[in-house]
Structure 1
Amino acid sequence: MHQALAALALPEQFDRYLNRLLPAERQAARALHPLLAGLVGVPAPPQALYAAAERARSALAGTLAVVRSPATTVRLVVEPGPGAADELRLARAGLALFGHRLESVTANRLLPAASPDPWLAALADRQREHLEELRGACAETGAGIGGAPHLGRVPRDTDDLALLGVAPPEPAGAVPGEGRADPWTVEDRLAGDGVMLWRLPLPGVRRSDLDLVRREDELVVDVGPFRRILPLPAALRRCTVEGASLRDGELCVRFAPDPGLWPRRT
């Protein structure tokens, strides 16, 4: 599951790498000052590289539009078992890190409730216990939950997929505050507290899952196996990090103006 969710971050990561390696500003400077590379002593990238980068950006644009759309939601498939509810909790936090909303969960490979085999019956009982834990976790997220039966083998063709007969998710109300609109918000508290706050909702995350570090004009945020590198807003680039806190499923990073970079007030 973690690898699949991390794949949702690849378009944004690739776009970031392109912008760092071949920023559009450098191409404009090259066009305006063709002798700049010779004067500085650093060879400019050939025009063909910029053309390739523009083609890549164009190809990425459609994928990024889908991934970033407020209408895009995520459906997860989870097998009820030990640790499944905790995996779902961490997946929810990872989705929130990238601004995605969890729509539904499908409990996969469900065993029949009644079986003449005592071993299978006991296994089904344990699975139902884990299924109840998943239902409780889904209730916290506002996501619906459905189920798919165990066929006794890996599905091989479309006929097997038809046999699965995946049940539609049980309806669940949306959790307030969770959506795809960019969750990062900057709050100006300079007048009262002398700081600016950068907030990110991370429902389900624990302090042990979280790590963050400032790297020049970027903030690197790790949530378990997930990582997102965010460029700082212009105002925060002229600040130093004063600290961070995690309360009620929200990460809050405090920034204080750097006297050497912040304009003086008159």
Structure 2
Amino acid sequence: MPPRIVLVTGLGGAGRSTAAAATAVAAARSGARTVLVTEKGPAPCDDVPGLTITRVDGGHAFRARAHAFQARLGSVLDLLGAEPLDAEEFTELPGARSFALLHALGEAAAGRADTVVADLPPLPQAVTLLALPEQLRRYLARLLPPERQAARALRPVLAQLAGVPMPAQWLYEAAARWDVELAAVQGLVESAATTVRLVVEPGPHAAERLRDARTGLALFGHRVECVLANRILPTGSADPFLAGLSGGQQEHLKALNDEFGTGRTSGTEVCELPHLGHAPHGADDLAALGVPAPAPVPDGRGPAARPWSVEDRLGTEGHLLWRLPLPGTTRDRLDLVRRGDELVVDAASFRRIIPLTSALRRCTVSGAALRDGALLVRFTPDPELWPADRAPKP
């Protein structure tokens, strides 16, 4: 049974790390063996029974993996006359923290935990991070397709003649290892047992900024479990200044509920977390925030359903209707291009390249529209490619 995974992100400075720690405490106190994956330093919940904290050091992880990779290439480097780098010479490259965080998430999920809570970077970086495994696997498949490898039978002979493993061989073997690891993390991110919690401090334009994030998360099929509205001030204060701050915050909170709340067709719960008047100092303070423990996910085994669907309207309208929910997007922030057997969808500054099914590959795009928060694309069968017995009647 895969663990329950909760991915916590939100607007910068909204207190997402605090919310992630509070989520982990709530899960552990409910009886779940819980792991909190975070890049932060000491957390105010180190002594909670049933809770393990994994702290990610991106620089250390990069140096260790780079040194190990160099060691595997030792014979090739000797052949080229290259001088290997010492361990101290490796410095962290851009993106290393993303790989380290994904690797730590995979290791935590592979353990014996019931629940894994991941403290992700702020939006929109978190959306990019979650899309990374799928995108890198696509790059590997395009740049190093297995069917184009050098003849396997010749490799041992060529390796003996050269005295070292042939570059094509170790390169494809390395790509295969990377693909296996990326596939495992992608499986976790796309699991039916994985949900996202968004953290925001109600304020000017907060709902608008979360709207773009909601679109990006929907594009990649991530399910938003709830919105955690943090640092909510008490209402009814006799102090005019505090009353004014609270009143303004309540207006922004209403905007969040209008955008995400249960009053909408596909509503997402907005949970209000009180302002404690100080930074949380321990597990009891975190529990006082009232962050709900992660609920079990129905049918949590295996991957979640794809965010897109196809409706067969051949018999009635002569086309197939492809549908992708994109809540929060607008026509001016949406673009669509068909590229061979793929759809390239740009929404709110996020891009996803989506492979088409075999049926849709034999169709032409005859129209597209944005209706009720969903992208609709009409595919009309190509008579030259569609089987005659399935082609729509004229």
Q: What is the TM-score with the length of structure 1 in the denominator?
A: 0.79
Q: Which residue is 2:261 aligned to?
A: 138
**What amino acid maps onto 1:182 in structure 2?**
R
| Alignment of structure 1 residues 243-254 onto 2, 5 Å | 243-254=367-378
Q: What is the TM-score with the length of structure 2 in the denominator?
A: 0.55
Q: What SS class does the counterpart of residue 96 from structure 1 fall into?
A: helix
User: Does residue 244 of structure 2 align to residue 122 of structure 1?
Assistant: yes
User: Does residue 206 of structure 2 align to residue 81 of structure 1?
Assistant: no
Long gaps (5+) in structure 1:
35-43
Q: Which residue is 2:148 aligned to?
A: 26
CA contact (8 A) 2:273 2:291 kept: no
CA distance in 1, matches of 2:361, 2:322: 12
Deviations 1:126-168 (A, max 9, x none): 0111112212322224322223344677x5xx72675353223
User: Does residue 128 of structure 2 align to residue 3 of structure 1?
Assistant: no
CA distance in 1, matches of 2:332, 2:154: 50
Change in Cα spacing, 1:243 to 1:122, as seen in structure 2 (3 Å) is same
CA root-mean-square deviation: 3.2
CA distance in 1, matches of 2:129, 2:324: 21
Q: What SS class does the counterpart of residue 196 from structure 1 fall into?
A: strand
Deviations 1:17-48 (A, max 9, x none): 11111123223x743798xxxxxxxxx97111
Residue 191 of structure 1: CA displacement?
4.0
User: Does residue 354 of structure 2 align to residue 233 of structure 1?
Assistant: no
Q: Which residue is 1:103 aligned to?
A: 225
Residue 245 of structure 1: CA displacement?
1.4
Residue 223 of structure 1: CA displacement?
1.5
Q: Which residue is 1:203 aligned to?
A: 327
Q: What SS class does the counterpart of residue 46 from structure 1 fall into?
A: helix
CA contact (8 A) 1:197 1:255 kept: yes
User: Does residue 281 of structure 2 align to residue 167 of structure 1?
Assistant: no
Deviations 1:95-128 (A, max 9, x none): 2211121111111233343667644432222011
Percentage identity across paired residues of the two chains? 57
Q: What SS class does the counterpart of residue 220 from structure 1 fall into?
A: strand
Q: What SS class does the counterpart of residue 106 from structure 1 fall into?
A: strand
CA contact (8 A) 1:146 1:170 kept: no
Deviations 1:167-186 (A, max 9, x none): 23599xx9xxxx94113222
CA distance in 1, matches of 2:290, 2:127: 23
CA distance in 2, matches of 1:89, 1:3: 15
Instruction: Give the stretch that moved more between structures: 93-102 or 114-123.
Output: 114-123
CA distance in 2, matches of 1:187, 1:32: 47
Q: 2:175 aligns with which of 39, 42, 53?
A: 53
Q: What SS class does the counterpart of residue 159 from structure 1 fall into?
A: coil
Say how many residue pairs are matched: 247
CA distance in 1, matches of 2:216, 2:182: 22
CA distance in 1, matches of 2:152, 2:316: 47
Higher RCO (CA-CA < 8 Å; seq separation 6+): 2
Q: What SS class does the counterpart of residue 199 from structure 2 fall into?
A: strand
CA distance in 1, matches of 2:282, 2:252: 25
CA contact (8 A) 1:203 1:249 kept: yes
Q: What SS class does the counterpart of residue 8 from structure 1 fall into?
A: helix
Long gaps (5+) in structure 2:
1-122, 156-165, 298-302
